[in-house]
Chains A and B, each alone.
Chain A
Amino acid sequence: MELGRKWVQLVIAFLTNGYWGFPVTRTIYQGPLKVVCAPGLNCYSCPAATSYCAIGALQQLMLSLRFNLENGQYYLGWYVLGCIGVLGAFFGRLVCGWACPFGFFQELLYKIPSRKFFVPRPLRFVKYGMLFFLVILLPLFAVNDFGMGIPWFCEYVCPAGTLEAGLPLLWLQPDLRKTVGFLFYNKLAILVVFVGWSVVASRPFCRVGCPLGAFYGLFSRVRLVKLQLDTAKCTNCEACHYVCPMGVKFNESPEDAECITCLACMEKACKFDAISLTVGGVPLRAGDVRKTTLPKAE
Chain B
Amino acid sequence: MKKKKPIQKLPFIVLGFFLILFLAGVMSGEPSRVLEQSWQICLSCMGIG
Q: How far is the CB of A178 from chain B (nearest CB, A)?
A: 10
**Inter-chain contact A81/B25, CB cutoff 8 Å:** yes
Q: How many residues of A contact B (CB 8 A)?
A: 57
Within 8 A of B (CB), among A52-83: 52-53, 56-57, 60-61, 73-83
Kindly supply a per-residue 1/0 record for chain B positions 1-40, scoring 1 wherever the CB is within 8 Å of any chain A CB and 0 otherwise.
0000111101110110111111111101111111101110
A32 vs B29: C-alpha distance in the bound complex, in angstroms? 15
Within 8 A of B (CB), among A102-137: none
Q: How far is the CB of B29 from chain A (nearest CB, A)?
A: 8
Q: Which of A9-17, A155-163, A204-212, A267-275 contacts B (4 or more CB under 8 A)?
A: A155-163
Q: Which of A183-191, A246-254, A257-265, A288-296 contacts B (4 or more CB under 8 A)?
A: A183-191
- Give the 9 A-B residue pairs with the shortest CB-CB distance, closest first: A82-B22, A79-B25, A85-B18, A78-B25, A79-B30, A281-B8, A82-B21, A183-B47, A89-B15
> Residues of B at under 8 Å CB distance from A?
5-8, 10-12, 14-15, 17-26, 28-35, 37-39, 41-49
> Residues of A at under 8 Å CB distance from B?
27-28, 30, 32, 34-35, 43-45, 52-53, 56-57, 60-61, 73-83, 85-86, 88-90, 150-151, 154-156, 161-162, 165-166, 169-170, 176, 179-180, 183-184, 186-187, 219, 222-224, 280-283
